[in-house]
């Protein structure tokens, strides 16, 4: 029986182990049966060059190769970490027409590429779970949610607000801050912008949200929703406000509507948020 779709996996940032790739393929077969996709993991995902899954050139070539491959239906980013911003602009400049037919899914550091794709008019870009989530306790649900989205756009995979918010986009706060003012920053006018983060001191989130909400682009959004902010390091003195109070503060200063919480984050409950209007 032919696979429902073919999904290419690449690692623009840090590497994954070979056993995760095998677990991922077995999981897809076991949980989707006659709808099971073929998951094609690029060998680049297993390379190691310091922090990265291969040097910049290897990571760039792997992404371009799979994005331009007509026989693949989707690109799924293996994990986050760091490294996508180092290759994003050069890689996006090498994409062909076949790359525009694909769905792209990832989150965390991959937001640099996702934002750049959306800025260039790619229609099927989404923030959502990635293969490395399978290594987390309870991560099977996250990976099943991602595969359900990639296979047939299951509405059960998406963040609930997406069904009602019109146009949406989602980013890790630190990643969005890093791409602002570059060619990777998409036009967010009229979008509900969902933001999440992990492992950042509250003062750094405060600083990042100052910059983000000072942007004319972000001030054109319909509003901001805050996802989960997890694993916050303890400062040497209490900051004096929690993450939601910080978000409310900067939204109020910028005249941006604060629209409450979003069901996204660096965790196994992370939901899919497509960029743009939900395609039913």
Position 91 confidence tier, pLDDT thresholds 50, 70, 90: very high
- Per-residue pLDDT band for 280 (boundaries 50, 70, 90) equals low
pTM, 2 dp: 0.97
Work out the percent of the chain whose per-residue pLDDT is above 70: 99
DSSP letter string, 258-269 = EEEE-S-SSSTT
Q: Are 36 and 29 in contact (CB under 8 A)?
A: yes
3-state secondary structure of 127: strand
The angle subtended at Cα 6 by Cα 160 and Cα 61, nearest 5°, is 100
pLDDT reported for residue 3:
81
Residue 4's pLDDT band (cuts 50, 70, 90): confident
- pLDDT digit string (tens) for 5-44? 999 999 999 999 999 999 999 999 999 998 999 999 999 9
**pLDDT above 80 for 197:** yes
Token pair of 182, please?
């570059």
What CATH architecture applies to the domain 6-157? 3-Layer(aba) Sandwich (3.40)
Task: Give me the residue spans of the domains in the chain.
Answer: 6-157, 161-261
What gap in Å lies between CA 190 and CA 206, rounded to an integer? 24
Which among 255, 225, 118, 250 is positioned nearest to 165, based on CA atoms? 225
| Correct CATH for 161-261 of 3.40.50.720, 1.10.287.1060, 3.50.30.60, 3.20.20.70 | 3.50.30.60
């Amino acid at each position: 029986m032919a696979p429902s779709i073919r999904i290419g996996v690449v690692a623009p940032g840090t590497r994954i182990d070979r056993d995760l790739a095998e677990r991922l393929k077995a999981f897809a077969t076991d949980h989707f049966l006659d709808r099971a996709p073929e998951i094609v993991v690029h060998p680049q995902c297993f390379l190691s060059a310091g922090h990265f899954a291969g040097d910049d050139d290897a990571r760039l070539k792997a992404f371009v190769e799979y994005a331009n491959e007509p026989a693949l239906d989707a690109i799924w980013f293996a994990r986050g970490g760091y490294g996508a911003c180092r290759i994003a602009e050069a890689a996006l400049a090498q994409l062909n027409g076949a790359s525009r037919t694909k769905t792209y899914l990832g989150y965390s550091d991959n937001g640099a590429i996702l934002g750049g794709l959306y800025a260039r008019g790619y229609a099927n870009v989404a923030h959502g779970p990635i293969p490395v989530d399978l290594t987390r306790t309870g991560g099977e649900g996250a990976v099943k949610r991602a595969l359900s989205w990639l296979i047939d756009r299951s509405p059960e995979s998406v963040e609930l607000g997406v069904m009602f918010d019109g146009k949406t986009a989602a980013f890790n706060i630190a990643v969005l801050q890093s791409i602002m003012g570059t060619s990777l920053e998409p036009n967010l006018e009229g979008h509900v912008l969902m933001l999440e983060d992990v492992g950042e001191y509250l003062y750094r989130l405060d600083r990042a949200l100052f910059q983000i909400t000072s942007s004319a682009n972000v001030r054109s959004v319909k509003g901001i929703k805050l996802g989960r902010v997890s694993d916050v390091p303890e400062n040497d003195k209490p900051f004096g406000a929690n993450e939601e109070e910080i978000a409310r503060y900067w939204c109020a200063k910028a005249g941006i509507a604060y629209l409450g919480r979003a069901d996204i984050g660096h965790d196994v409950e992370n939901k899919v948020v497509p960029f743009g209007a939900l395609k039913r």
